[in-house]
Structure formats: C-alpha cells, structure tokens
Chain A
Amino acid sequence: MTTLTNVVTDRAPRRRLRGRLRAFRGARALALPLLILLIWQVVQARAVVPTNLLPTPSSVLETIGTLASTGELAEHIAITSWRVLQGFLLGAVAATVLGSITGVSRTARELIDPLLQSLRSIPSLAWVPLFILWLGIYEPSKVALIAVGAFFPVYLSLTQGLLDVDRKLVEVGRMVGFNRLDLVRCILIPAALPAYVTGLRGGLGLAWMFVVAAEVMGASKGLGFLLVDGQQTGRASLILASILLFALLGKLTDGLLSLLSQRLLQWQDSHSLQAA
C-alpha cells in the first residue's frame, strides 16, 4: 500500500527527477566521443600520422561542409536512406507476415521454419551475384539485398516472441471462451509486441549494414559510393565523413523507431474497455 500512495503523491517530483537524469545520461553518452575527437584533433594537428591517411576531425567536418554546400550531400543521404527504407519495409513486412504465421500455427512452423532457418545460414553477400543477375545492377537488387538483411532479425524475434507467450495467460483467454482469432488478437500479439519491436530495431540496424554492402558493390550515388570514391581518389577524409554520417543516421533512425514503438506500446496500454 505504501508504494501505491508513493506513486500517487510523488509522481510529479519523480518525473522531474527522471527527466533530469535522462538529460544527464544523454550528456554522458556524448562525453566519450567528444573526448576522443578532441584528443584526435590535438594529436593530428601535429600530423603524428600522415594527414592524408588520418585527417583531423576538423578536416572531416570540412569535407562534409563542402559536400553539403554543393547540395551533393543531401542527394547522397536521400538516396541511401530511401534504399534503407524500402529494403527495411519490404523485409520487415515479409518477416511480420511469415513470423506471425509460424509463431501461431504449429503446422506452418513445421513446414516453413526449417527452410527459412537454412536460408538464414547462407552468408547474405552470397545473394549479391544472384540478385544482380536477376534484378540488374540498379535499385531492385540493392533493395532486395537490404530486405534480406532486415528480414531475419524481425522474423526470429516475432516467432520467438509469439512462442514465448505465457501459457498461463493463454489459458485465461480460453477460460473466457476466446476462439483462436481472439487469442491471437487479445493475448498473443500484445504479449509478443516487445519482442517484435526489438526485432524491428535489429532489422533496421542490419538494413543500414546491408546498404553499405549494396552500394560498395556498385552505385553512382549514396553514402556507400562516397566510401568507394574516397578510397579510389585517396581521400581518407571522405571515407571518414561517410562513416560518421552512417553512424549518425543509424543512431537517428533507431531512436526514431524506438520512440515510435514506445508510442505503439503506449497505445496498447491506453486501449480501453472496448479492447476486450
């Protein structure tokens, strides 16, 4: 009872405290990268390592600035993000459909899951020649490769999440006379939702990895192209700029997804009486 009254009376101060803590944590996350950049800048200003191999952070930023001023950077970011988005959506949708089927139906699981598991053990880059042969060297083959990458984390988490739903909760559903569809809708899906969200975030992460693979294989635009370009023209600052942008974009999209999923889970929670 004491904890309950605490929840009621201490809600506002606790929220404020939590907000402050979060801000502090956010600052902490930046501390180490900033420190490394600082040391890097100070050391490389004296050119300890030849600067054409390891440019200073400021020259990397300069490279980014130059690219941005010509509008080239926006184009590279846009095309890469678009590829990631398409591939991720394609892979995630396919994984959601297949994962929910194999997670709910034992027969489907016995039929489909072994095949998918064996496909998973194929090194994903092995698909590249086949996709290029089938889909050409332009967008479709790249999107397909990214989709393959995004598929498995989502599929695995969703299936496992559905399988891990507590039998005891399912029994409650059976006791109130739920049919199979009700059970899936009212118990299995909400119970598996946290695992699904984890899978989505994993899938998005892999989509960003696979877009690099796809663009390094052959592209005339995109952040992955900048990597190849930097290597071929011997500009380490361009490579580092691209890497930095990948890190930022990956973190940003993951944060967005996590925020979105929080909304989604919150909606589940606030779903009132009519849900039952």
Chain B
Amino acid sequence: MLQLETVSKTYRNGFTALEPIDLRIEAGERVAIVGSSGCGKSTLLRLAAGLCPPSTGRVLLHGRPVIKPEPSVGFIFQEPRLMPWLTVEQNVAFGLRGPARHRHASVSSALLRVGLTAYGHYYPKQLSGGMAQRVAIARALASAPQLILLDEPFSALDAIKRAELQEHFLQLWESEQLSTLIVTHDVEEAIVLADRILVMQPHPGRITEELRLDLPLDNCREAPGFEALKKQLIQSLRPPSVGAGQTGADPVPFAVAHAIHG
C-alpha cells in the first residue's frame, strides 16, 4: 500500500535527518517506528505524508508517487490541532468534500466511534486534552482514509488517558482494518499498537532493527513475553556503543527479531 523507496532527507543546511530508507506497509498492517527524540522519525512520517519532499527516493501510495498530501491518508498529529473557531462537529467535518448529507453522516459516525456524539456543539476550548485528541482522531477517521499516520499521538496525555486512548484506537483499528504507521518514543505504545516495529537510531536517522510481534490485541500488556520484548526494545534503542552486549539479551518468545543494519 505505502512504499518508501530509498527515501532520504537532507536539509538545506546540510543536516542529514534521514539516511536512505526502504519501507513497505501492506494493507491492514500496523507498523510502529520507535526511536529517541531527534532520530528523524517525525521527518520520516512527514515524508510519507507528502508534507515535505524527500531529498532522494520516492514515496509511493498504491504504486503512484506521492507529491502532495493524499486525501486517502489521514494524519494524527502530536497535538489535537483543532480550529479554535469551529465546533467539534465542524472540526471533524474540516476538509470533507461531497454533498452535505454525506458529510453529515461521516461526521456523526466518526464522532460516534470516538464516543463524543454528545459534544458536537462544544468548542475546542471546552474540551479536555484527551477529548480534544479524540476529536482529532475523529477528524482523521471522517474522511474514511485507507492509511493513518500518527505522530506521537498520545504523548501529551497522562499515563491513564494514554492507555485509555490506545485501547480505544485498537478497537477502532479492529473494526476498520486501517493500515497504520505510528511514530513514537514510547516502547510500550509501539508494542501495544503495532504488529511490526522498526527501531530508529539518530545521527543520521536510520532504521537499525525490525521486529515482528505476535501478541494478542486484547490486554497485550499482560501477555507473556511483553516485558521481555519491552526490555529488548529499550536495549536496541540505546546507542550501539552502550548496547554492545545486546546479543546476549534474553530470547523473545513472541517475536522474530532480525537486524537490518547491524
């Protein structure tokens, strides 16, 4: 579905944010990219969204090159980014096209899915952080995208709200079978939300490891192997010099891990 072919990004000042990266996301797949701050993971996501052009390589959606943002791709930002002058309903309808009746139906069903039907006429300033982010999710869902890109979508929330929204998002994913690409620095979030995890290292940004997970969707935090997987991921996030002993890490029962770039 989404394909990145030797995509790299070097800024005008000569800073290489991203080394050439190849990445393929199949329909219905949930992929997470984990990395510490400044490793280029957000850049990768912006390139995939068509928000900024890559320095080399190309981004393909269904085999067609992405030059500007595509309507079939939704983006959920780190912050809700709601228009303060629009109500919840109008924010969810933002950018929707087509006849008013269809738009109205899409908005209602999106609000229903995030459980905010009763708040359609509220303004963003009247919402809590978690609710505002749910509105942002509804806005991304309303356009019925095939692929959703998420940039640390729950990082601004407290731990309880975050876990709640993650659960919520999983339910949505189950019912919609969306393809998702999520970028996060939170190892746990990656394990909960993805079935494939890419580990990124900074200076320059590159993918150093790929894991396929096979954890159950429900209560995956309680699943055996979760803690071991978490430990392993944290280990792989460390800079290579520190994590030199990672070959000795415990085997992970539910994951097939293999290094891409050593």
Contacts and interface: CB of A to CB of B under 8 A. Distances in A.
The answer to whether A and B come from one shared complex is yes
A164 interface: no
Contacts of B123: 269
Nearest to A1: B128
Contacts of B203: none
Main secondary structure of the interface of A (DSSP, over half): helix
Q: Which range holds the interface residue count of chain B?
A: 20 to 34
A275 B143 CA distance: 16
A168 B103 contact: no
Given A171-B81, A175-B75, A276 B90 contact: yes
A193 B85 CA distance: 10
Interface residues of A, number: 28
Nearest to A173: B95
A148 B119 CA distance: 47
Interface string B79-99: 101010111011001111000
A256 interface: no
Given A173-B95, A177-B95, A269 B87 contact: yes
B93 A276 contact: yes
Interface in A256-276: 265, 268-269, 271-276
B95 A275 contact: no
B93 A168 contact: no
Contact of A273 (B77, B79, B93): B93
A168 B77 contact: yes
B102 to A, nearest CB: 11
Nearest to A179: B68
A276 B126 contact: no
B126 A176 contact: no
Nearest to A4: B126
A178 interface: yes
Contacts of A193: 85
Given A273-B90, A273-B107, A276-B96, A268 B69 contact: no
A256 to B, nearest CB: 23
Contacts of A275: 86, 90
Contact of B69 (A174, A187, A273, A276): A174
Nearest to A265: B85
Interface in B126-141: 126-128
B51 A171 contact: yes
Contacts of A178: 95
Contacts of B95: 172-173, 175-178, 186, 276
B126 A7 contact: yes
11 contacts: A4-B127, A4-B128, A169-B81, A173-B95, A174-B69, A175-B49, A176-B94, A186-B94, A186-B95, A190-B83, A269-B85
Interface of A: 1, 3-4, 7, 168-169, 171-178, 186-187, 190-191, 193, 265, 268-269, 271-276
| 9 interchain residue pairs of minimum CB distance | A176-B95, A276-B93, A175-B75, A190-B85, A177-B71, A175-B69, A276-B94, A172-B81, A168-B81
